[in-house]
Structure 1
Amino acid sequence: MAVLDQINGRWGKAILRAASVRTNLDWGMRREMMSQSYTIRVDQLWKIYCA
């Protein structure tokens, strides 16, 4: 964290940040587009064939 603080102190605030910190807080998953299937149904999985 000390190195991170030094880099941010030299080059400007929030130049580097931890990967867990979100950069765009406006983005969010559309809840209305979520599947209503909360479990996996094997009969609904796609089948892919390779020749």
Structure 2
Amino acid sequence: MKKRGKTPGSGRKALDESGTVVTTVRLTGEQRATFQLLGGVAWLRDYLQQIIEGKR
């Protein structure tokens, strides 16, 4: 079997065209568990968007 390198279009797709950046956060185990219970990254994005829109 030959390795042919990266296939065009493969890999994780972007959420949208607005451009995202990768951010790393250090949490304790308890904080991470709470973050996951709240909904993880989806919850964080929604929460931040509400702040941006003035809903919080």
TM-score by length of 2: 0.21
> RCO (CA 8 Å, sep 6+): is it higher in 1 or 2?
1
Report which of the two has the higher share of helix.
2
Larger Rg over CA atoms: 1
* TM-score of the superposed pair, with normalisation by structure 1: 0.22
